[in-house]
Amino acid sequence: MKRLLPLLLALSPVPALAQRVPLVTSAEKAASAHIEPDVLRAHVRFLAHDLLEGRGPGTRGDALGQAYIASQFESLGLKPAGVDGTYFQPFDLVGVTGHPRTLSVRAPGGVEDLKFHEDFIAVSGVQEAEAKLDASEIVFVGYGIQAPEYAWDDFKGMDVRGKTLLILNSDPEDDPALFAGRTRLWYGRWDYKYEQAAKMGAAGAIILHTPASAGYPWQVVQSSWTGEQFELPAASGPRLQVKAWMTESATRRVLQMAGRDLESLRAAAQSRDFQPVPLGVTVSTRFANEVRRRPTANVLAMLPGSDPKLGSEVVLYSAHHDHLGRKEEGAPGEDLVYNGALDNAAGVSAMLAVAKSFRALPQPPRRSILFAAVAAEEQGLLGSQYLAEHPPVPAGRIAANVNIDGANIHGRTRDITVIGLGKSDLDGVITALAKTQGRVVKADQLSDRGFFYRSDQFNFARRGIPAAYFGSGMDFVGRPEGWGRQQRETWEAKHYHQPSDELRPDWDWSGAVEDVRLFFLLGAHVARNPELPRWNKGDEFEAARLAALEALKAPRTPPPSEGASK
């Protein structure tokens, strides 16, 4: 019942945030009408055009996308919120190009050279001219999780320094009493696993890919993890030499060389009593990297608030402007451009439409509105990470984040999905707003995918900012039951992170219009309400919020890097 209580409170008929102020004003309702299909489609048409070559970070297409977004902000009369009176918050990415052709696995009974692309995908974990594994012993560490709050430790004190860890994707899900059942947590994400492996001193980490555990097919790993990989400049601390994914068939062959089978190891990993298993086989590889710095930027604009006190606080809208760029090579006549129309030209378009609606209000809302088109999301949420570390205002003054990643292009729905439903009291406002549209709110209908930790709101949530992130509904008007899920699965199998993510004439924008109007009305309500949104008691981000609010009470001088963003 304790787990259900926050959700029940969030879905109560009288939302906490809406008790003292109207849910929607007549001016806001009128302004929301500016969000129309043509507005959404037009921005996507430009941002997803072949001329922008997939908006890969640090490329000419990336710069063109930034310039377009800044010009749209300026045309709306929004104030620059970047550096030196501009709309841009520039920062450097470190691009690393290099991968091994083989992973050489050696056992007492022989050697097998696994093939890049077919058996595994691997990239450098270091921003150096060479990455290598030198006869590094492979250790199976289950899910590779240390979670004291769940009394879970997959390492049990084993010294894995210099080893290569073989790790299951996701987190234990069969027993609802462990973790969150089939709802994936941060511990189930690949970035957590690589980060944790590095902290433990491992030399390499290999994550076992299956379509079920990843939530996408092997081709997505192939497209997302090949070519130049980007990071923020490395800070001091431990680094993996090699980060890799491996297919299930290749993993089974490696385990067979070790005299083990995947089923028994996977079964053992479901228990708190699991002990890491040294496999008695080693892996070796060595490959050169091309390392270079490339500039990119977040694009930031502000609509100053009208209230003398609340105007110092902001509601943050975010949407990532980057995508995957171009394929390095292909067959004659093959489409080489990852246009990223749905992911995420559509999200940027939605944010621009929201900005247009705010400007249509007779006067600005009480709180300020910050619009952030962030860079390098596809490379690991890097732009939002940089923004969260260098915000124009302290985290405690950011009332809430509404993050937009994708859009509903299949028509109107009777529902809308809230990723992370039950985490904050924003849920109550969202539920009430959806009701005015004749719709219902549903929790993440694909909760095993861990979507809350896969888009930019995660970086803001980690700093305590209550965040709302949405998925389109799946109960489509005029469509049979199950049609929406089928469309989603088809998209992931054929178009997600593929060149076929292009603007199409048959896209139905009517559902997107309803969603984006809700996003606008949500932010308008938060900007008008004197009470700040809050995480539900006991949520994983509550402590960070309390710390951010407490930090506002103490006088402080911003560090130079933070002051430069003001």
DSSP line for 128-139: SSEEEEEEEEEE
| Torsion 192-198-202-204 (CA) sign | positive
Amino acid at 228: E
Q: What is the pLDDT of residue 552?
A: 94
Distance separating alpha carbons of residues 529 and 428, to the nearest angstrom: 14
Distance separating alpha carbons of residues 207 and 203, to the nearest angstrom: 14
Distance separating alpha carbons of residues 370 and 397, to the nearest angstrom: 12
Tokens of 373: 């088109």
Distance separating alpha carbons of residues 16 and 450, to the nearest angstrom: 27
Closest by alpha carbon to 168, among 257, 268, 281? Answer: 268
CA distances from 461 to 94, 341, 416, 437, 546 (A): 25, 26, 21, 28, 12
Q: How many residues does the chain have?
A: 566
Distance separating alpha carbons of residues 53 and 64, to the nearest angstrom: 10
Using DSSP bridges, classify how beta strands 277-288 and 102-107 pair: parallel, antiparallel or unpaired.
antiparallel
Closest by alpha carbon to 357, among 81, 86, 78? Answer: 78
Using DSSP bridges, classify how beta strands 398-403 and 314-320 pair: parallel, antiparallel or unpaired.
parallel
Q: What is the pLDDT of residue 477?
A: 97
Q: What is the pLDDT of residue 90?
A: 98
Q: For the CA atoms of 50, 52, 57, 60, what is the dihedral angle to 10 degrees?
A: 130
Q: What is the pLDDT of residue 237?
A: 83
Tokens of 560: 């130079």
Burial (CB count within 10 angstroms: exposed 0-12, middle 13-18, buried 19+), residue 370: buried
Q: What is the pLDDT of residue 556?
A: 57
Question: Which segments of the chain have a pLDDT < 70?
Answer: 1-20, 555-566
Contact 246, 222 (CB under 8 A): no
DSSP code for 171: -
Q: Which residues pair with 116 in a beta bridge?
A: 120
| Torsion 458-463-464-467 (CA) sign | negative
| Torsion 155-156-162-165 (CA) sign | negative
302: three-class secondary structure by DSSP: strand
Contact 276, 139 (CB under 8 A): yes
Closest by alpha carbon to 425, among 525, 302, 559, 552? Answer: 525
How would DSSP label each residue in 246-265? E-HHHHHHHHHHTT--HHHH
The end-to-end CA distance of the chain, in Å, is 45
- Within 13 Å of residue 29, how many CA atoms lie on the same side as its CB? 8
| Torsion 169-173-179-183 (CA) sign | positive
Contact 55, 340 (CB under 8 A): yes
Q: Residue written as tokens 């930019």?
A: 456
Q: Residue written as tokens 């560490």?
A: 141
Q: What is the pLDDT of residue 66?
A: 98
